[in-house]
Amino acid sequence: MSAPIHAAIVGTGHYAPARVLTNADLEKMVDTTDEWIRTRTGIRERRIAADNEFTSDMGTAASRMALEQARLAPEDVEAIYVATCTPDMFFPSTACLIQATLGAKRAYGFDISSACAGFLMALDAAGAAVESGRIRNALVIGSEKLSAVTDWTSRNTCVLFGDGAGAAVLKASDRPGIRSSLLGVDGNLAEFLSIPAGGCRQPTSEETVRQRLHYMHMAGRETFKIAVNTMLGAAQEAIARAGLTVADVDVMVPHQANLRIVEAVAKRLGEGVMERVFLNLDRYGNTSAASIPIALSEAVAAGKIRSGNKVLMVAFGGGLSWGGTVVEWL
């Protein structure tokens, strides 16, 4: 009987645009203050992509870093999974554009649209393909240019979001990698966080543009409450499925949306959990599908994640969608 195949993360990378938009800058754009933003979200600044810098460009940059760390050549990549809700265009997929730019000639690829939970959705799909033996490696990317769909006249949303990309390389391994994955959606709550127009339900028209329906719309209070409960449940179930307890988790890498949400989830998980949480939302804001892979890459670079560590990733986003994943680091 052959030994089971595991999908292990062997390389991570991230990319952030050069332009920094601070809370002080936002004070000049909308009716808000640095104190209001910091105390309610924990965000101090975020990165904004250049006009000629797109989701595929940022995803490519993060991928190059991850591939270099994994010591994997682009031409050896077998699959590219891209999580994004801000693709360069409806089609072809962002994965196709990244595949061409990277020179990953042997790879197939596609996009996954699940907002802030997208990276964990893509990681699960790629991990299943590796574990099945169908492929030996996969490049999993979260990349977003949220500035392109942010209403910069709305203080309720424009203070929250930023641009960036993160990537992870999965490879087949005889040692544990992805230990568990818990994913979920509830389309009954779709209206809480969405971009209403642009699809076939509300095609682009003079009226949809006038009503600013091509930008993100969010019911903040309702989303906050659901986010805490859903992320908590996803984290607890993912830990249980991995055969672990909360005490066994060495590092928690949550979706970097709001400090209050993260603190509420960590507090309910148990005493001392917040000390094991990796945070960078103060510098990036909410980068949706790019949030977890950027944080994961920075945690690795900072030496916060080491071989043998049990890492919990948990996210919540539009859909509504959520996910919890436990990975044992090689």
Torsion angles phi and psi, residue 314, rounded to 5: -145, 140
Using alpha carbons, select from 59, 53, 85 the residue that is nearest to residue 140: 59
Catalytic residue among 85, 116, 137, 258: 116
Q: Is-catalytic flag, 116?
A: yes
Phi-psi region of 145 (alpha: psi -120 to 50; beta: other; left: phi over 0): beta
Catalytic residue among 96, 158, 255, 258: 255
Q: Is-catalytic flag, 286?
A: yes
Helix axes of 291-301 and 55-70: crossing angle, nearest 10 degrees: 30
Q: Verify cis geometry, omega within 30 degrees of 0, for the bond prior to 320.
A: yes
Using alpha carbons, select from 229, 225, 272 the residue that is nearest to residue 252: 272
Torsion angles phi and psi, residue 169, rounded to 5: -105, 125
Q: Is-catalytic flag, 156?
A: no
Measured CA to CA in angstroms, residue 165 lies from 94, 234, 244, 290 at distances of 13, 24, 30, 5
Beta strands 45-48 and 19-22, pairing class: antiparallel
Torsion angles phi and psi, residue 70, rounded to 5: -80, -5
User: What contacts 24+ positions apart, CB below 8 Å, involve 32-38?
Assistant: 32/155, 32/159, 37/159
109 touches 129 (CB < 8 A): no
Give the residue numbers marked as catalytic. 116, 255, 286
